[in-house]
Amino acid sequence: MTTTVMPPLNTSLPLSYFGLHGGNRKQADTSSSALPESFPAPHESQAQVIREAKRFNVADCGRRYGKTELGKRLLAEKATQGARTAYLAPSYPMAHQFYREMVDALHGRTQGNEANRRIGFPSGGFIDIWSMENGGDRARGQKYHRVVLDECALVIGLAGIWEKVIRPTLTDYKGDAWFLSTPRRGSEFEAMWKRGQGESDEWKSWKLTTYDNPFIDRDEIEAARKQLSEQAFAQEYLADFEASESDLVFPEFDASLHVRPALETWQECKWRVVGVDPGGGDPTAVVPLGVSKTEHVHQYGEFYRKGDVAVDDVISYIGQLNNLAKIDLIVVDPSAKGWVEQLHRYGYPAMAANNARGAGLESVRWLLQSGRLTIGERCTNSISEFGSYRWAKRRDQDTGERYATSTAEDNHADAMDARRYAVMAILNGLPSGAAPRQPIQFHRSGATRFGR
């Protein structure tokens, strides 16, 4: 939670700046008595953001910029007008903390209900306070003039929560939304921020650094610059997405770089390896990888189907690939009992995959970083998994906050697993009976040469 020390309300900045978008609302009260002085006036940078705001607003903020204070003011000012508003936090502890801070700041001018975290105003307006844990389901069915979503980069499934839960709550009143957060590379918050950088009539985004808060001592910021690593300072103070940490397993993936046409046809590849991940209850994924004569790895297609999938369905797809050009090897999730034997009956070279997940992820990462792995644009499911494949989250027992672990989530990973199996086979060398046998050499030192 960000708290910034600021001077009392500056009546030279009218509160009407905060009365944005939406119909059937009371006119903004621009008098200095509308809110208590405990709500600081927007500083110059915040005032500019408010003036430039559109309906959906995304603020990428450095530490101590004052984003949560801005969120408080946006909500309280609107609720004072009689509007229905909501604050959404990434966790229950943060939602509760926000409730207590708002009640204290309003100095008894409102009626708070801690049981359901609603703060009511004499005007009839109110602020609901929700957590976005469990998909924000408790906010379903509500109607709001304004919503403020805080620390969005920490929220798992932010895009889905926005599209399926929060956006519909703004329909009745044509309400507006504010997304506030410090950066996290590869997050869905970053995707929303990029949307606001485009030519949109409804979306607007800003990059707001600690320097933009005039009440933070510049000498203190410079002292932090000297004490922190360049990456940490860029993330925490300069709101730099590229420097920030990511909970994506493969933040290196860039569709503009890695989604490309193949260098050679499937028939021209010197190796053709297929990874298979039977889904059970999850989607079943089959990923065919080809290695070009210049030793570039390309994904030529995908089989991706939800629900129960019979091995015969997979074999039919593999048969289509094999009819185009002989497959050198098929590697199958080792937990899929009987699949390798079934493939052998059809005459295919098949084996259980190397399921060393850490080494497999590192291998795929190396290929992405070195530019030696590309994916065909028609592999839509495989491509979409890169945006949802994240490190598993755990909850700190003391603080209640969620943090990323070094274990990848099992969900959103079916094509990821199938590709990982095939990559490991390629890098480790094909087994006897599949030619050629020489492995691609994997040099952790950074030398990215392929074995011949």
Q: What is the pLDDT of residue 413?
A: 81
Give the mean pLDDT of the chain. 81
Residue 172 is given by DSSP the state T
What ranges do the domains of the chain cover?
Answer: 15-236, 255-428
Report how far residue 421's alpha carbon sits from residue 278's, in angstroms, rounded to the nearest whole number: 12
CATH number of 255-428: 3.30.420.280
149-153, 251-255, 371-375, 445-449: least confidently modelled range: 445-449
d(CA 169, CA 426): 50
The stretch 243-248 carries a mean pLDDT of 67
* CATH C-level class of 15-236: alpha beta
Averaged pLDDT, 183-210: 91
Question: Using an 8 Å Cβ cutoff, are 30 and 63 in contact?
Answer: no
* pLDDT of 411: 57
pLDDT at 346: 93
**Looking at 247-251, 267-271, 355-359, 439-443, which range is the least confident one?**
439-443
pLDDT for 449 beyond 50: no
pLDDT in tens, 12-58: 333 333 333 333 333 333 333 466 666 778 999 999 999 999 999 99
pLDDT of residue 17: 32
Whether 390 shows a pLDDT value over 80: the answer reads no
* Res 187: pLDDT: 80
Residue 3: is its pLDDT beyond 70? no
* Residue from 342, 288, 349 nearest 315 by CA: 342
108, pLDDT greater than 80:
no
CA distance 381 to 285: 9
How far does Cα 144 stand from its chain's mean position?
A: 25
Overall average pLDDT of the 64-83 stretch: 93
Give the residue-averaged pLDDT of 67-84: 93
- Rounded CA separation 156/159 (Å): 9
Could you tell me what percent of the chain has a pLDDT over 90? Answer: 50
Window from 208-212, 321-325, 358-362 with minimum mean pLDDT: 358-362
Average pLDDT over residues 377-401: 72
Give the alpha-carbon dihedral of 114, 95, 132, 238, to 10 degrees.
160
Q: What is the DSSP string of 17-69?
A: GG--S-SS-PPP--STTSS-TTSPPP-HHHHHHHHH--SEEEEEE-TTS-HHH
The answer, yes or no, to whether residue 2 has pLDDT greater than 80, is: no
Same fold, 15-236 and 255-428: no
Region 223-244 average pLDDT: 85
* 161 has pLDDT over 80: yes
pLDDT band at 247 (very low <50, low <70, confident <90, very high): confident
Residue 359 — very low, low, confident or very high, per pLDDT cuts 50/70/90? confident
Give Rg (Cα) of the chain.
26
Please give the pLDDT value at position 264: 94
Residue 180: strand pairing partners? 59
Distances (CA, A) of 320 to 279, 303, 315: 21, 11, 9
Phi, psi of 359 (to 5 degrees): -65, -35
Amino acid 236: pLDDT? 87
Mean pLDDT of 127-152: 91
Q: What mean pLDDT is predicted for residues 375-386?
A: 91
Dihedral of the alpha carbons of 153, 156, 162, 165, in degrees to the nearest 10:
-150
Q: What is the pLDDT of residue 296?
A: 93
The secondary element (H helix, E strand) that includes residue 158 is: helix 158-161
Whether 362 shows a pLDDT value over 90: the answer reads: no
